[in-house]
Structure 1
Amino acid sequence: MTNTPGSATLIGSVQRAMRLLESVAGHEHGAPAKQLARENGLALPTAYHLLRTLVHEGYLRRDKGRFFLGEAAERLSSSGAQEKRRGTVADTLAHWRDALGVPVYYAMYRDGEIEVMCVSDTPANPAVEEWADFRATGHAHAIGQCLLAQVDEATRRDHLRRHPVWPLTPYTVCNDHALLRRLDRMQRMEVVIERQEYALGTVCAAIPITLGNTAATLAISLPAHQADRLMAAAQQLQGEIGQHLGSLAISISI
């Protein structure tokens, strides 16, 4: 497609503006317009015009004659870093998924809710279908039970007040008191096993993770007819968590 003279001029202006942004990013303590114009081979009036436009749009800010990155540019940078962090967590889960041959889940208890941050599965080993909201059914699945076991009693009771116990299957814990007794009996860092309490035909295991003051967990699931594999796979995963804990910890800031 052939560019019209107007579109070519616009593209050139965008290119020059991007180069100015890159130049400003390379100056930790800012840079004056004359220096930026010289570094980019621009006439000073052209550089001034582009710099004023970038300041107006929030991509740059001017302070005492020097230009710095503005809030809009910093938001772009933050967004890119966020995507990179998500990718690191996803890669870590994919490694375990392939090594163990099971779906792997990573979840946290944050702001009073159960949040499944990432799931890694394959067509041959699919994740459990979320047929009932994971956040509202923490009493019934290994992820929720593992997270609730890590928080204090007041937090547990508040959670159950907002998300009451109800039977999803014939195997689901029957009431709040039974669930609280089960959680109280759990040992610190104990693997939590759940058999068909959330979904018939599925068994799950969740491993508690300590990330500062944040309750987190890694979990796996298997079809019920492969239940004999569950504990061995969970223990293998538990043994490897320490090597990759850093990549999971960064997800707290996501």
Structure 2
Amino acid sequence: MRLLEAAAEQPGGATAKRLARAAGLPLATAYHLLRTLVHDGYLTHEGGLYAMGESARRLSGPADAQAARAELVDWLGRLRDDLGAAVYYALYEDGEVNVVLTAEGAGAPAVQEWAEFRRTAHAHAIGQCLLAQLDDAERRDHLARHPVERLTPFTVPDERALLRKLARMDRGGPVHEWQQYTPGTVCAAVPITAGAVPSALAISLPAGRADQLRPLAGALRQRIETTLTSLSFSVRAAPCRAPER
């Protein structure tokens, strides 16, 4: 704990010797503890400097987590109003797709989960966007547990076709889906490239507004790029919805 406190006082990172002195520990002991803290994600070690890691930041307590969640919920609500579309925030954790937050409204209804999102990742933009961020072994493991199945006439027909589609995707670019999950609805998802956990933001539209999907997906990508520096995308919790307007 003294090492963590010492590291927290050095936002730009510090050497092992400096942290050992600040914590009042022998250098050999400090090295041993620092290796453990890096292994467990409490510290990072780059260029000879130790700095606070993601696990340490989560120790700040539920108040900070709730504040980050409230900030994200508010931002998703503004996105929904600006884009005129339902907006979703999703993560890929522990081998599963998790739609954490949904912002919908009277003029922007969310997709009804008639087939469980976690087992139908192959058929919707969120799932395809998250699967595209995995390595080949992780992707094949997911599909072994959740095989490709036809949900609509537009769903990708089999695993081979899905893997080809994922391989062709532009890394960091939007993923578009046209009535593959549910008839009458089109979706797009954009990967979030901050943090170690694969994540994405997505929108959905009635098929009658399909011509707006690509422009709105581009606008969503721009909003993510301009917001990543100021907004935390580390919210992990049970699914919930932003207040409707």
Give unpaired runs (5+ residues) of structure 2.
Answer: 1-59, 239-245
Distance, in Å, in 2 between the alignment partners of 1:248 and 1:199 is 31
Q: Does 1:223 align with 2:212?
A: no
**Which structure carries more helix by proportion?**
1
Distance, in Å, in 2 between the alignment partners of 1:205 and 1:116 is 14
Q: Quote the residue 1:70 is aligned against.
A: none
Moved more, 77-86 or 158-167: 77-86
- 1:180 aligned to 138, 158, 163, which one? 163
CA distances 1:65-85 after superposition (whole Å, capped 9, x unpaired): xxxxxxxxxxxx833333222
- 2:153 aligned to 158, 162, 170, which one? 170
Distance, in Å, in 2 between the alignment partners of 1:85 and 1:223 is 31
- 2:197 aligned to 187, 203, 214, which one? 214
Q: Offset at 1:253?
A: 8.6
Distance, in Å, in 1 between the alignment partners of 2:223 and 2:126 is 19
Q: Quote the residue 2:119 is aligned against.
A: 136
Distance, in Å, in 2 between the alignment partners of 1:253 and 1:170 is 34
Structure-2-length-normalised TM-score: 0.69
- Preserved contact between residue 202 and residue 224 of structure 1 (Cα < 8 Å): yes
Q: Does 1:84 align with 2:67?
A: yes
Q: Quote the residue 1:36 is aligned against.
A: none
Q: Offset at 1:238?
A: 0.8
Q: Quote the residue 1:249 is aligned against.
A: 233
Give unpaired runs (5+ residues) of structure 1.
Answer: 1-76
Q: Quote the residue 2:242 is aligned against.
A: none
- 1:100 aligned to 61, 83, 103, which one? 83
Distance, in Å, in 1 between the alignment partners of 2:97 and 2:151 is 17
Distance, in Å, in 2 between the alignment partners of 1:127 and 1:209 is 21
CA RMSD of superposed structures (Å) = 1.6
- Preserved contact between residue 91 and residue 199 of structure 2 (Cα < 8 Å): yes
Q: Quote the residue 1:34 is aligned against.
A: none
Moved more, 242-251 or 153-162: 242-251
Aligned length: 178
Structure with the larger RCO, 1 or 2 (CA within 8 Å, 6+ apart): 2
Moved more, 94-103 or 209-218: 209-218
Distance, in Å, in 1 between the alignment partners of 2:237 and 2:124 is 25
Distance, in Å, in 2 between the alignment partners of 1:233 and 1:226 is 11
Distance, in Å, in 2 between the alignment partners of 1:98 and 1:232 is 16
Structure-1-length-normalised TM-score: 0.67
The residue type paired with residue 149 of structure 1 is: A
Q: Offset at 1:252?
A: 5.2
Structure-to-structure mapping, 1:23-102, within 5 angstroms: 78-102=61-85
